[in-house]
Structure 1
Amino acid sequence: MAALFATRQKDPSPAMTDEEYAKFCEFFYRKTGIQFQAGKKYFVDRRVADRIEKTCSESFRDYFTMVRFQVTGEELQFLVNAMTVNETYFFREDYQFDALIGGILPEVARSKRRNEPIRIWSIPCSSGEEPYSIAISILERWSQADSWNIEISASDIDSKILHEARTGLFGERSVSRVSAQLRSKYFLPRPDGSFQICDELRESIDFSLVNVVNPLHTHRFRDIDVIFCRNLLIYFDDVGRRETVEMFFDALSPGGFVCLGHSESMSRMSSIFLPRKFGETIVYQKPLSAE
Protein backbone atom coordinates (compact mmCIF):
# COMPACT_ATOMS: atom_id res chain seq x y z
CA MET A 1 0.00 0.00 0.00
CA ALA A 2 2.85 2.38 0.81
CA ALA A 3 4.38 1.81 -2.61
CA LEU A 4 1.04 2.43 -4.34
CA PHE A 5 0.56 5.65 -2.37
CA ALA A 6 4.03 6.77 -3.33
CA THR A 7 3.25 6.42 -7.04
CA ARG A 8 0.35 8.83 -6.63
CA GLN A 9 2.40 11.60 -5.07
CA LYS A 10 2.90 14.69 -7.20
CA ASP A 11 5.89 16.95 -7.10
CA PRO A 12 4.92 19.62 -4.54
CA SER A 13 7.41 22.12 -5.92
CA PRO A 14 5.82 25.17 -7.54
CA ALA A 15 5.61 25.45 -11.30
CA MET A 16 6.68 29.09 -11.15
CA THR A 17 9.12 31.18 -9.19
CA ASP A 18 7.84 34.46 -7.75
CA GLU A 19 9.38 36.32 -10.68
CA GLU A 20 7.76 33.96 -13.19
CA TYR A 21 4.44 34.26 -11.38
CA ALA A 22 4.59 38.06 -11.73
CA LYS A 23 5.33 37.76 -15.46
CA PHE A 24 2.54 35.25 -15.93
CA CYS A 25 0.00 37.41 -14.07
CA GLU A 26 0.94 40.46 -16.14
CA PHE A 27 0.50 38.45 -19.35
CA PHE A 28 -2.84 36.96 -18.26
CA TYR A 29 -4.07 40.40 -17.22
CA ARG A 30 -3.25 41.87 -20.63
CA LYS A 31 -5.03 39.03 -22.40
CA THR A 32 -8.15 38.80 -20.22
CA GLY A 33 -8.37 41.76 -17.85
CA ILE A 34 -8.38 39.31 -14.92
CA GLN A 35 -5.97 40.15 -12.13
CA PHE A 36 -4.47 37.61 -9.74
CA GLN A 37 -3.11 38.81 -6.40
CA ALA A 38 -0.25 37.25 -4.45
CA GLY A 39 -2.71 35.24 -2.38
CA LYS A 40 -3.84 33.40 -5.51
CA LYS A 41 -0.40 32.00 -6.32
CA TYR A 42 -1.19 28.44 -5.22
CA PHE A 43 -4.45 28.42 -7.24
CA VAL A 44 -2.69 29.71 -10.36
CA ASP A 45 0.42 27.59 -9.89
CA ARG A 46 -1.49 24.30 -9.68
CA ARG A 47 -3.42 25.05 -12.85
CA VAL A 48 -0.33 26.10 -14.74
CA ALA A 49 1.45 22.95 -13.55
CA ASP A 50 -1.45 20.89 -14.90
CA ARG A 51 -1.21 22.57 -18.30
CA ILE A 52 2.59 22.10 -18.34
CA GLU A 53 2.02 18.37 -17.78
CA LYS A 54 -0.77 18.08 -20.36
CA THR A 55 1.26 19.85 -23.05
CA CYS A 56 4.41 17.85 -22.22
CA SER A 57 6.34 21.08 -21.77
CA GLU A 58 9.73 20.66 -20.10
CA SER A 59 9.46 23.73 -17.87
CA PHE A 60 7.39 26.81 -17.15
CA ARG A 61 9.69 28.77 -19.46
CA ASP A 62 8.99 26.42 -22.38
CA TYR A 63 5.27 26.43 -21.65
CA PHE A 64 5.07 30.21 -21.30
CA THR A 65 6.93 30.68 -24.59
CA MET A 66 4.48 28.36 -26.32
CA VAL A 67 1.42 30.14 -24.88
CA ARG A 68 2.67 33.57 -25.89
CA PHE A 69 3.66 32.72 -29.44
CA GLN A 70 1.29 29.92 -30.50
CA VAL A 71 -0.38 31.17 -33.67
CA THR A 72 -3.71 29.41 -33.12
CA GLY A 73 -4.12 30.62 -29.53
CA GLU A 74 -5.47 27.18 -28.65
CA GLU A 75 -3.41 26.71 -25.48
CA LEU A 76 -4.25 30.20 -24.25
CA GLN A 77 -7.92 29.22 -24.47
CA PHE A 78 -7.23 26.01 -22.50
CA LEU A 79 -5.43 28.13 -19.92
CA VAL A 80 -8.32 30.61 -19.69
CA ASN A 81 -10.74 27.71 -19.20
CA ALA A 82 -8.59 26.37 -16.38
CA MET A 83 -8.31 29.73 -14.62
CA THR A 84 -11.94 30.86 -14.66
CA VAL A 85 -14.30 29.95 -11.83
CA ASN A 86 -17.90 29.11 -12.74
CA GLU A 87 -20.32 28.93 -9.82
CA THR A 88 -23.97 29.80 -10.42
CA TYR A 89 -27.56 28.55 -10.29
CA PHE A 90 -30.98 29.45 -11.65
CA PHE A 91 -32.61 32.68 -10.42
CA ARG A 92 -29.52 33.80 -8.52
CA GLU A 93 -30.00 37.33 -7.10
CA ASP A 94 -33.62 37.06 -8.20
CA TYR A 95 -34.45 40.63 -7.17
CA GLN A 96 -32.80 41.71 -10.42
CA PHE A 97 -35.17 39.51 -12.41
CA ASP A 98 -37.99 41.22 -10.50
CA ALA A 99 -36.56 44.57 -11.60
CA LEU A 100 -36.24 43.35 -15.19
CA ILE A 101 -39.89 42.29 -15.39
CA GLY A 102 -41.47 44.96 -13.22
CA GLY A 103 -39.56 48.03 -14.35
CA ILE A 104 -36.79 47.69 -16.91
CA LEU A 105 -38.59 45.89 -19.73
CA PRO A 106 -41.76 48.01 -19.57
CA GLU A 107 -39.59 51.14 -19.77
CA VAL A 108 -37.55 49.75 -22.67
CA ALA A 109 -40.75 48.75 -24.50
CA ARG A 110 -42.17 52.26 -24.23
CA SER A 111 -39.19 53.61 -26.17
CA LYS A 112 -39.42 51.02 -28.97
CA ARG A 113 -41.37 50.65 -32.18
CA ARG A 114 -43.16 47.31 -32.47
CA ASN A 115 -40.87 46.13 -35.25
CA GLU A 116 -37.72 46.77 -33.21
CA PRO A 117 -36.21 43.90 -31.19
CA ILE A 118 -35.47 44.09 -27.48
CA ARG A 119 -31.90 42.92 -26.99
CA ILE A 120 -30.52 41.45 -23.74
CA TRP A 121 -26.88 40.42 -23.21
CA SER A 122 -25.71 38.14 -20.39
CA ILE A 123 -21.93 38.27 -19.79
CA PRO A 124 -20.33 36.22 -18.33
CA CYS A 125 -23.04 33.62 -18.79
CA SER A 126 -21.09 30.71 -17.25
CA SER A 127 -22.97 27.42 -17.76
CA GLY A 128 -26.14 29.18 -18.88
CA GLU A 129 -28.25 29.48 -15.74
CA GLU A 130 -28.47 33.28 -15.99
CA PRO A 131 -29.63 33.65 -19.62
CA TYR A 132 -32.05 30.74 -19.23
CA SER A 133 -33.39 32.35 -16.04
CA ILE A 134 -33.90 35.59 -17.98
CA ALA A 135 -35.80 33.76 -20.72
CA ILE A 136 -38.01 31.86 -18.28
CA SER A 137 -38.74 35.01 -16.27
CA ILE A 138 -39.84 36.87 -19.39
CA LEU A 139 -41.98 34.01 -20.69
CA GLU A 140 -43.65 33.42 -17.35
CA ARG A 141 -43.98 36.89 -15.90
CA TRP A 142 -43.96 39.64 -18.54
CA SER A 143 -47.43 40.14 -19.98
CA GLN A 144 -46.05 41.78 -23.14
CA ALA A 145 -43.61 38.98 -23.96
CA ASP A 146 -45.61 37.72 -26.95
CA SER A 147 -45.80 41.22 -28.44
CA TRP A 148 -42.06 41.68 -28.85
CA ASN A 149 -39.14 40.07 -30.64
CA ILE A 150 -36.74 39.47 -27.74
CA GLU A 151 -33.14 38.55 -28.54
CA ILE A 152 -31.01 37.09 -25.74
CA SER A 153 -27.25 36.83 -26.27
CA ALA A 154 -25.00 35.05 -23.78
CA SER A 155 -21.21 35.20 -23.71
CA ASP A 156 -18.27 33.89 -21.73
CA ILE A 157 -14.50 33.75 -22.05
CA ASP A 158 -14.47 30.03 -21.17
CA SER A 159 -15.11 27.84 -24.24
CA LYS A 160 -15.65 24.69 -22.17
CA ILE A 161 -18.34 26.27 -20.01
CA LEU A 162 -20.03 27.66 -23.13
CA HIS A 163 -20.34 24.11 -24.46
CA GLU A 164 -22.06 23.15 -21.22
CA ALA A 165 -24.39 26.14 -21.53
CA ARG A 166 -25.38 25.20 -25.06
CA THR A 167 -25.97 21.61 -23.96
CA GLY A 168 -28.27 22.83 -21.17
CA LEU A 169 -27.75 19.93 -18.77
CA PHE A 170 -27.95 20.85 -15.07
CA GLY A 171 -27.58 19.16 -11.70
CA GLU A 172 -29.92 19.36 -8.74
CA ARG A 173 -28.02 22.24 -7.14
CA SER A 174 -28.40 24.41 -10.24
CA VAL A 175 -32.18 23.99 -10.33
CA SER A 176 -32.78 24.01 -6.57
CA ARG A 177 -34.61 27.36 -6.77
CA VAL A 178 -36.73 26.35 -9.76
CA SER A 179 -40.28 25.47 -8.77
CA ALA A 180 -41.76 22.05 -9.53
CA GLN A 181 -44.16 23.68 -11.97
CA LEU A 182 -41.33 25.35 -13.93
CA ARG A 183 -39.21 22.20 -13.84
CA SER A 184 -42.02 20.20 -15.42
CA LYS A 185 -42.58 22.91 -18.05
CA TYR A 186 -39.00 23.70 -19.11
CA PHE A 187 -36.85 20.73 -18.05
CA LEU A 188 -36.69 17.03 -18.84
CA PRO A 189 -35.54 14.91 -15.87
CA ARG A 190 -32.89 12.31 -16.72
CA PRO A 191 -32.24 8.93 -15.10
CA ASP A 192 -28.97 10.16 -13.55
CA GLY A 193 -30.80 12.89 -11.61
CA SER A 194 -29.81 15.76 -13.90
CA PHE A 195 -32.18 18.03 -15.80
CA GLN A 196 -32.12 18.83 -19.54
CA ILE A 197 -33.55 22.21 -20.45
CA CYS A 198 -36.04 22.16 -23.31
CA ASP A 199 -34.86 22.58 -26.90
CA GLU A 200 -36.99 25.69 -27.45
CA LEU A 201 -35.03 27.59 -24.80
CA ARG A 202 -31.65 26.22 -25.85
CA GLU A 203 -32.25 27.27 -29.44
CA SER A 204 -33.55 30.72 -28.53
CA ILE A 205 -30.29 31.97 -26.96
CA ASP A 206 -27.21 32.97 -28.95
CA PHE A 207 -24.12 31.73 -27.08
CA SER A 208 -20.74 33.13 -28.12
CA LEU A 209 -17.13 33.26 -26.94
CA VAL A 210 -16.30 36.80 -25.84
CA ASN A 211 -13.27 38.29 -24.09
CA VAL A 212 -14.35 41.74 -22.88
CA VAL A 213 -10.86 43.20 -23.32
CA ASN A 214 -10.74 42.18 -26.99
CA PRO A 215 -12.49 44.74 -29.24
CA LEU A 216 -12.70 42.15 -32.02
CA HIS A 217 -15.03 40.15 -29.75
CA THR A 218 -17.18 43.00 -28.48
CA HIS A 219 -17.65 45.29 -31.50
CA ARG A 220 -20.66 43.35 -32.81
CA PHE A 221 -22.67 44.05 -29.65
CA ARG A 222 -24.56 47.24 -30.39
CA ASP A 223 -28.04 48.60 -29.64
CA ILE A 224 -28.30 46.39 -26.55
CA ASP A 225 -31.14 47.30 -24.20
CA VAL A 226 -30.15 45.39 -21.05
CA ILE A 227 -26.77 43.98 -20.01
CA PHE A 228 -26.43 41.53 -17.13
CA CYS A 229 -22.80 41.59 -16.00
CA ARG A 230 -22.76 40.18 -12.50
CA ASN A 231 -19.66 39.28 -10.50
CA LEU A 232 -17.16 39.73 -13.32
CA LEU A 233 -15.70 43.15 -12.57
CA ILE A 234 -14.61 42.08 -9.08
CA TYR A 235 -11.76 40.22 -10.82
CA PHE A 236 -10.54 43.36 -12.66
CA ASP A 237 -8.45 46.27 -11.49
CA ASP A 238 -9.67 49.88 -11.64
CA VAL A 239 -8.46 50.38 -15.20
CA GLY A 240 -10.05 47.15 -16.41
CA ARG A 241 -13.36 47.97 -14.72
CA ARG A 242 -13.50 51.43 -16.23
CA GLU A 243 -12.65 50.20 -19.72
CA THR A 244 -15.26 47.44 -19.50
CA VAL A 245 -18.09 49.72 -18.39
CA GLU A 246 -17.14 52.16 -21.15
CA MET A 247 -17.42 49.28 -23.62
CA PHE A 248 -20.87 48.52 -22.19
CA PHE A 249 -21.79 52.19 -22.59
CA ASP A 250 -20.92 51.99 -26.30
CA ALA A 251 -22.82 48.71 -26.71
CA LEU A 252 -26.04 50.02 -25.15
CA SER A 253 -28.85 51.88 -26.83
CA PRO A 254 -29.58 55.30 -25.29
CA GLY A 255 -31.62 54.59 -22.18
CA GLY A 256 -30.27 51.03 -21.91
CA PHE A 257 -29.50 49.39 -18.56
CA VAL A 258 -26.63 47.52 -16.88
CA CYS A 259 -27.25 45.11 -13.99
CA LEU A 260 -24.17 44.44 -11.83
CA GLY A 261 -23.57 41.97 -9.00
CA HIS A 262 -24.65 42.83 -5.47
CA SER A 263 -21.07 43.63 -4.36
CA GLU A 264 -20.31 45.83 -7.38
CA SER A 265 -21.04 49.56 -7.62
CA MET A 266 -20.85 51.59 -10.81
CA SER A 267 -20.15 54.76 -8.80
CA ARG A 268 -16.69 53.42 -7.96
CA MET A 269 -15.92 52.75 -11.62
CA SER A 270 -17.45 55.49 -13.74
CA SER A 271 -19.86 58.43 -13.63
CA ILE A 272 -21.24 58.02 -17.15
CA PHE A 273 -24.25 55.93 -16.02
CA LEU A 274 -27.28 57.08 -14.05
CA PRO A 275 -28.24 54.98 -11.00
CA ARG A 276 -31.86 53.83 -11.04
CA LYS A 277 -33.71 51.97 -8.31
CA PHE A 278 -36.26 49.29 -9.18
CA GLY A 279 -37.71 47.57 -6.14
CA GLU A 280 -34.88 46.18 -4.03
CA THR A 281 -32.06 46.71 -6.50
CA ILE A 282 -30.08 49.50 -8.13
CA VAL A 283 -29.25 49.26 -11.82
CA TYR A 284 -27.42 51.69 -14.08
CA GLN A 285 -28.83 53.48 -17.10
CA LYS A 286 -27.18 55.05 -20.12
CA PRO A 287 -28.63 58.57 -20.46
CA LEU A 288 -31.21 58.98 -23.21
CA SER A 289 -29.31 61.95 -24.56
CA ALA A 290 -26.00 60.03 -24.84
CA GLU A 291 -24.38 60.34 -28.19
Structure 2
Amino acid sequence: MKAATAPAIVQPTISDADFLKFREFFYRKTGIHFEESKRYFVDKRLIERIEATGSDSFRAYFIALRFEADGRELQQLVNLMTVNETYFFRESYQFDCLVNDMLDEVVRRKRKGSRIRIWSIPSSTGEEPYSIAIYLLERWRHIDDYEVEILSSDIDTTVLAAAERGVYSARSVANLPKHYLDKYFRRLSDNEYQISRDLVAAVDFSRVNLSDAADTRRFRDIDVIFCRNLLIYFDDLSRRLAAEAMYDALNPGGFVCLGHSESMSRISSLYAVRRFPDAMVYQKPLPGDRP
Protein backbone atom coordinates (compact mmCIF):
# COMPACT_ATOMS: atom_id res chain seq x y z
CA MET A 1 0.00 0.00 0.00
CA LYS A 2 1.48 3.36 -1.06
CA ALA A 3 1.73 6.20 1.41
CA ALA A 4 -0.47 9.16 0.62
CA THR A 5 1.43 12.03 -0.94
CA ALA A 6 0.73 15.64 -0.18
CA PRO A 7 -0.75 17.56 -3.10
CA ALA A 8 1.79 19.68 -4.94
CA ILE A 9 1.67 23.36 -4.12
CA VAL A 10 0.82 25.30 -7.27
CA GLN A 11 2.30 28.79 -7.35
CA PRO A 12 -0.07 31.50 -8.60
CA THR A 13 0.59 32.76 -12.10
CA ILE A 14 0.17 36.21 -13.64
CA SER A 15 -1.14 36.20 -17.19
CA ASP A 16 -0.56 38.96 -19.74
CA ALA A 17 -4.11 40.17 -19.17
CA ASP A 18 -3.56 40.13 -15.39
CA PHE A 19 -0.40 42.19 -15.73
CA LEU A 20 -2.13 44.82 -17.89
CA LYS A 21 -5.10 44.98 -15.53
CA PHE A 22 -2.87 45.43 -12.50
CA ARG A 23 -0.60 47.93 -14.26
CA GLU A 24 -3.56 50.17 -15.10
CA PHE A 25 -4.91 49.95 -11.54
CA PHE A 26 -1.54 50.73 -9.93
CA TYR A 27 -0.98 53.63 -12.33
CA ARG A 28 -4.35 55.15 -11.42
CA LYS A 29 -3.54 54.88 -7.72
CA THR A 30 0.09 56.04 -7.75
CA GLY A 31 1.01 57.61 -11.10
CA ILE A 32 3.76 54.98 -11.46
CA HIS A 33 3.81 53.27 -14.84
CA PHE A 34 5.47 49.88 -15.27
CA GLU A 35 7.02 49.20 -18.66
CA GLU A 36 6.94 45.70 -20.08
CA SER A 37 10.62 45.42 -19.11
CA LYS A 38 9.52 45.49 -15.44
CA ARG A 39 7.24 42.49 -15.91
CA TYR A 40 9.37 40.02 -13.94
CA PHE A 41 9.77 42.50 -11.06
CA VAL A 42 6.01 43.16 -10.90
CA ASP A 43 4.97 39.52 -11.24
CA LYS A 44 7.35 38.40 -8.50
CA ARG A 45 6.00 40.91 -6.00
CA LEU A 46 2.39 40.28 -6.91
CA ILE A 47 2.87 36.56 -6.32
CA GLU A 48 4.47 37.36 -2.95
CA ARG A 49 1.36 39.25 -1.87
CA ILE A 50 -1.08 36.70 -3.30
CA GLU A 51 0.60 34.00 -1.22
CA ALA A 52 0.98 36.20 1.87
CA THR A 53 -2.74 37.01 1.88
CA GLY A 54 -3.82 33.42 1.32
CA SER A 55 -5.55 34.18 -1.98
CA ASP A 56 -5.81 31.25 -4.37
CA SER A 57 -5.42 33.23 -7.60
CA PHE A 58 -4.63 36.64 -9.04
CA ARG A 59 -8.34 37.16 -9.69
CA ALA A 60 -9.30 36.58 -6.06
CA TYR A 61 -6.47 38.77 -4.82
CA PHE A 62 -7.22 41.58 -7.26
CA ILE A 63 -10.92 41.68 -6.36
CA ALA A 64 -10.03 41.93 -2.67
CA LEU A 65 -7.42 44.61 -3.42
CA ARG A 66 -9.84 46.77 -5.41
CA PHE A 67 -12.62 46.65 -2.85
CA GLU A 68 -10.72 46.79 0.44
CA ALA A 69 -11.96 49.61 2.65
CA ASP A 70 -8.81 50.65 4.50
CA GLY A 71 -6.23 50.55 1.68
CA ARG A 72 -3.85 48.49 3.81
CA GLU A 73 -3.04 45.89 1.17
CA LEU A 74 -2.50 48.55 -1.49
CA GLN A 75 0.02 50.18 0.84
CA GLN A 76 1.79 46.83 1.26
CA LEU A 77 2.05 46.58 -2.53
CA VAL A 78 3.29 50.15 -2.87
CA ASN A 79 6.01 49.43 -0.33
CA LEU A 80 7.08 46.38 -2.33
CA MET A 81 6.89 47.98 -5.76
CA THR A 82 8.84 51.18 -5.09
CA VAL A 83 12.62 51.23 -5.32
CA ASN A 84 14.51 53.11 -2.60
CA GLU A 85 18.26 53.38 -2.99
CA THR A 86 20.09 56.45 -1.82
CA TYR A 87 22.94 57.68 0.39
CA PHE A 88 24.07 60.83 2.21
CA PHE A 89 25.26 63.79 0.10
CA ARG A 90 24.09 62.17 -3.14
CA GLU A 91 24.42 64.66 -6.03
CA SER A 92 25.76 67.13 -3.50
CA TYR A 93 26.25 69.88 -6.07
CA GLN A 94 22.55 70.68 -5.62
CA PHE A 95 23.04 71.08 -1.87
CA ASP A 96 25.94 73.42 -2.69
CA CYS A 97 23.55 75.38 -4.90
CA LEU A 98 21.00 75.47 -2.09
CA VAL A 99 23.32 77.13 0.43
CA ASN A 100 25.32 79.23 -2.06
CA ASP A 101 22.55 80.65 -4.26
CA MET A 102 18.94 79.46 -3.97
CA LEU A 103 18.38 80.34 -0.32
CA ASP A 104 20.05 83.74 -0.72
CA GLU A 105 17.45 84.55 -3.39
CA VAL A 106 14.65 83.19 -1.22
CA VAL A 107 15.54 85.35 1.79
CA ARG A 108 15.65 88.54 -0.28
CA ARG A 109 11.86 88.28 -0.34
CA LYS A 110 11.51 87.53 3.38
CA ARG A 111 11.87 89.38 6.66
CA LYS A 112 14.54 88.19 9.07
CA GLY A 113 13.05 85.62 11.43
CA SER A 114 10.39 84.49 8.98
CA ARG A 115 9.81 80.91 7.83
CA ILE A 116 11.61 79.01 5.06
CA ARG A 117 10.09 75.70 3.95
CA ILE A 118 12.05 72.99 2.13
CA TRP A 119 10.27 69.86 0.87
CA SER A 120 12.08 66.62 0.03
CA ILE A 121 10.03 64.09 -1.95
CA PRO A 122 10.56 61.16 -2.07
CA SER A 123 12.20 60.94 1.31
CA SER A 124 13.24 57.31 0.83
CA THR A 125 15.01 56.25 4.05
CA GLY A 126 15.87 59.83 5.01
CA GLU A 127 19.35 60.38 3.59
CA GLU A 128 18.25 63.36 1.46
CA PRO A 129 16.35 65.43 4.07
CA TYR A 130 19.05 64.75 6.68
CA SER A 131 21.73 65.78 4.16
CA ILE A 132 19.83 69.04 3.66
CA ALA A 133 19.69 69.59 7.42
CA ILE A 134 23.45 68.99 7.81
CA TYR A 135 24.24 71.31 4.90
CA LEU A 136 22.12 74.08 6.41
CA LEU A 137 23.66 73.70 9.86
CA GLU A 138 27.22 73.54 8.58
CA ARG A 139 27.27 75.74 5.50
CA TRP A 140 24.44 78.26 5.37
CA ARG A 141 25.51 81.46 7.08
CA HIS A 142 21.94 82.67 7.71
CA ILE A 143 20.69 79.54 9.46
CA ASP A 144 20.24 81.37 12.78
CA ASP A 145 18.32 84.23 11.17
CA TYR A 146 15.32 82.28 9.87
CA GLU A 147 12.91 79.57 10.97
CA VAL A 148 13.66 76.67 8.64
CA GLU A 149 11.19 73.80 8.22
CA ILE A 150 12.27 70.62 6.44
CA LEU A 151 9.37 68.49 5.22
CA SER A 152 9.95 65.06 3.75
CA SER A 153 7.43 62.74 2.14
CA ASP A 154 7.18 59.34 0.51
CA ILE A 155 4.45 57.01 -0.68
CA ASP A 156 6.22 54.06 1.00
CA THR A 157 5.45 53.77 4.72
CA THR A 158 8.27 51.27 5.28
CA VAL A 159 10.97 53.73 4.25
CA LEU A 160 9.36 56.51 6.27
CA ALA A 161 9.59 54.33 9.38
CA ALA A 162 13.25 53.63 8.56
CA ALA A 163 13.91 57.35 8.12
CA GLU A 164 12.46 58.13 11.53
CA ARG A 165 14.49 55.30 13.07
CA GLY A 166 17.62 56.87 11.54
CA VAL A 167 19.98 53.87 11.45
CA TYR A 168 22.29 53.69 8.42
CA SER A 169 24.89 51.37 6.94
CA ALA A 170 28.53 52.28 6.46
CA ARG A 171 27.88 52.42 2.71
CA SER A 172 25.09 54.96 3.20
CA VAL A 173 27.33 57.37 5.14
CA ALA A 174 30.51 56.77 3.10
CA ASN A 175 30.38 60.21 1.41
CA LEU A 176 30.13 62.14 4.68
CA PRO A 177 33.24 63.95 5.88
CA LYS A 178 34.51 62.27 9.05
CA HIS A 179 33.90 65.30 11.25
CA TYR A 180 30.21 65.35 10.15
CA LEU A 181 29.94 61.63 10.85
CA ASP A 182 31.42 62.10 14.32
CA LYS A 183 29.27 65.12 15.04
CA TYR A 184 25.86 63.92 13.86
CA PHE A 185 26.01 60.12 14.25
CA ARG A 186 26.54 57.53 16.94
CA ARG A 187 28.36 54.38 15.88
CA LEU A 188 26.36 51.26 16.75
CA SER A 189 28.63 48.66 15.13
CA ASP A 190 31.18 48.28 12.34
CA ASN A 191 28.38 48.68 9.80
CA GLU A 192 25.71 50.74 11.56
CA TYR A 193 25.41 54.40 12.50
CA GLN A 194 22.49 56.15 14.17
CA ILE A 195 21.77 59.76 13.33
CA SER A 196 21.30 62.36 16.06
CA ARG A 197 17.77 62.52 17.45
CA ASP A 198 17.98 66.30 17.16
CA LEU A 199 18.23 65.90 13.37
CA VAL A 200 15.33 63.43 13.35
CA ALA A 201 13.25 65.98 15.24
CA ALA A 202 14.21 68.65 12.69
CA VAL A 203 12.45 66.82 9.81
CA ASP A 204 8.67 66.43 9.50
CA PHE A 205 8.03 63.09 7.75
CA SER A 206 4.68 62.26 6.13
CA ARG A 207 3.15 59.82 3.68
CA VAL A 208 2.27 61.56 0.41
CA ASN A 209 1.23 60.34 -3.02
CA LEU A 210 2.42 63.02 -5.45
CA SER A 211 -0.27 61.91 -7.92
CA ASP A 212 -3.08 62.47 -5.42
CA ALA A 213 -4.32 66.07 -5.27
CA ALA A 214 -5.86 65.45 -1.85
CA ASP A 215 -2.38 64.59 -0.52
CA THR A 216 -0.47 67.47 -2.12
CA ARG A 217 -3.07 70.16 -1.44
CA ARG A 218 -1.86 70.58 2.14
CA PHE A 219 1.65 71.53 0.95
CA ARG A 220 1.78 75.26 0.34
CA ASP A 221 4.22 78.15 0.87
CA ILE A 222 7.21 75.94 -0.04
CA ASP A 223 10.45 77.71 -0.99
CA VAL A 224 12.55 74.82 -2.31
CA ILE A 225 11.53 71.34 -3.48
CA PHE A 226 13.92 68.45 -3.95
CA CYS A 227 12.17 65.90 -6.17
CA ARG A 228 15.03 63.82 -7.50
CA ASN A 229 14.80 60.56 -9.44
CA LEU A 230 11.06 60.14 -8.88
CA LEU A 231 9.58 61.41 -12.15
CA ILE A 232 11.54 58.81 -14.14
CA TYR A 233 8.97 56.27 -12.86
CA PHE A 234 6.03 58.33 -14.19
CA ASP A 235 4.59 58.59 -17.67
CA ASP A 236 4.16 61.95 -19.44
CA LEU A 237 0.73 62.69 -17.97
CA SER A 238 1.75 61.84 -14.40
CA ARG A 239 4.92 63.93 -14.75
CA ARG A 240 2.90 66.94 -15.90
CA LEU A 241 0.44 66.56 -13.03
CA ALA A 242 3.32 66.24 -10.56
CA ALA A 243 4.95 69.37 -12.00
CA GLU A 244 1.67 71.25 -11.56
CA ALA A 245 1.28 70.00 -7.98
CA MET A 246 4.78 71.24 -7.13
CA TYR A 247 4.07 74.55 -8.87
CA ASP A 248 0.97 75.04 -6.70
CA ALA A 249 2.97 74.16 -3.58
CA LEU A 250 5.75 76.67 -4.27
CA ASN A 251 5.91 80.30 -3.29
CA PRO A 252 6.51 82.62 -6.27
CA GLY A 253 10.26 82.55 -6.91
CA GLY A 254 10.59 79.11 -5.31
CA PHE A 255 12.86 76.43 -6.76
CA VAL A 256 12.64 72.77 -7.81
CA CYS A 257 15.67 70.44 -8.00
CA LEU A 258 15.30 67.33 -10.15
CA GLY A 259 17.61 64.37 -10.67
CA HIS A 260 20.50 64.70 -13.12
CA SER A 261 18.68 62.67 -15.81
CA GLU A 262 15.38 64.56 -15.47
CA SER A 263 14.37 67.76 -17.27
CA MET A 264 11.47 69.97 -16.25
CA SER A 265 11.68 71.70 -19.63
CA ARG A 266 10.46 68.48 -21.29
CA ILE A 267 7.59 68.18 -18.81
CA SER A 268 6.09 71.63 -18.26
CA SER A 269 6.42 75.21 -19.49
CA LEU A 270 5.42 76.60 -16.09
CA TYR A 271 8.98 76.96 -14.81
CA ALA A 272 11.97 79.09 -15.73
CA VAL A 273 15.38 77.45 -16.04
CA ARG A 274 17.97 78.92 -13.66
CA ARG A 275 21.66 78.18 -14.16
CA PHE A 276 23.72 78.80 -11.05
CA PRO A 277 27.46 78.07 -10.73
CA ASP A 278 26.81 74.79 -8.89
CA ALA A 279 23.67 73.48 -10.60
CA MET A 280 20.80 74.05 -13.00
CA VAL A 281 17.43 74.22 -11.24
CA TYR A 282 13.87 75.27 -12.05
CA GLN A 283 12.05 78.31 -10.68
CA LYS A 284 8.42 79.31 -10.30
CA PRO A 285 8.35 82.80 -11.85
CA LEU A 286 7.63 85.85 -9.75
CA PRO A 287 4.47 87.84 -10.57
CA GLY A 288 5.10 89.72 -13.81
CA ASP A 289 7.89 87.40 -14.93
CA ARG A 290 7.49 84.93 -17.75
CA PRO A 291 8.94 81.39 -17.63
Give the alignment of 1:38-117 within 5 angstroms. Answer: 38-117=36-115
TM-score, scaled relative to structure 2: 0.94
Unaligned runs of 5+ in 2: 1-7
Question: Unaligned 5+ residue runs, structure 1?
Answer: 1-8
Instruction: Write out aligned runs for 1:96-245 (5 A).
Output: 96-191=94-189, 193-245=191-243
Deviation, structure 1 residue 290: 7.0
8 A contact 1:254–1:289 mirrored in 2: yes
Q: Per the alignment, in what secondary structure is the counterpart of residue 245 of structure 2? A: helix
- 8 Å CA contact 2:222–2:249 kept in 1: the answer is yes
Which amino acid in 2 is paired with 1:72?
Answer: D
CA distance in 2, matches of 1:115, 1:183: 29
Number of equivalenced pairs: 283
Distance 1:57 1:143, change over 3 A: same
Whether the aligned pair in 2 keeps the contact of 1:15 and 1:46 (CA below 8 Å) is: no
2:265 matched residue in structure 1: 267
Query: Residue 12 of structure 2 contacts residue 58 of structure 2 at CA under 8 Å; is this kept in 1?
Result: no
Runs (4+) of structure 1 exceeding 4 A deviation are none
Residue identity matched to 1:167: R
Give the deviation of 1:116 after TM superposition. 2.1
Partners of 2:12 and 2:50 within 8 A in 1:
no
When residues 10 and 253 of structure 1 are mapped into structure 2, their CA distance, relative to the original with a 3 A threshold, is farther
Contact 1:14 1:45 in 2 (8 A): no
Shift of 1:114: 2.0
2:34 paired with 1:36: yes
The secondary structure found in structure 2 opposite 1:200 is: helix
1:95, CA displacement in angstroms?
0.5
Structure 1 vs Structure 2 CA RMSD? 1.6
CA distance in structure 2 between the partners assigned to 1:169 and 1:219 by the alignment: 31
| Aligned-pair identity (%) | 56
Amino acid at match of 2:26: F
Deviates more, 1:185-194 or 1:247-256: 185-194
Match of 1:6? none
Q: Secondary structure at the match of 1:288?
A: coil
SS in 1 for 2:117: strand
Kept after mapping to 2: 8 A contact 1:131/1:152: yes
Measured in 2, the distance between the counterparts of 1:102 and 1:280 equals: 8
Q: Distance in 2 between matches of 1:238 and 1:121?
A: 23
For residues 1-49 of structure 1, what are the alpha-carbon distances to aligned partners after superposition, in whole Å with 9 as ceiling and x for unaligned?
A: xxxxxxxx996x6631001100000000000000001111100000000
Cα pair 1:260 1:283 within 8 Å, conserved: yes
Q: For residue 279 of structure 1, report the CA deviation from its aligned partner.
A: 1.6
TM-score (norm 1): 0.94
Deviates more, 1:52-61 or 1:110-119: 110-119
Which residue identity does 2:96 align to in structure 1? D
Contact 1:168 1:197 in 2 (8 A): yes
Deviations 1:226-277 (A, max 9, x none): 0000000001011000010001000000000000000000110011100001
Q: Do the aligned residues in 2 keep the contact of 1:123 with 1:156 (CA within 8 Å)? A: yes
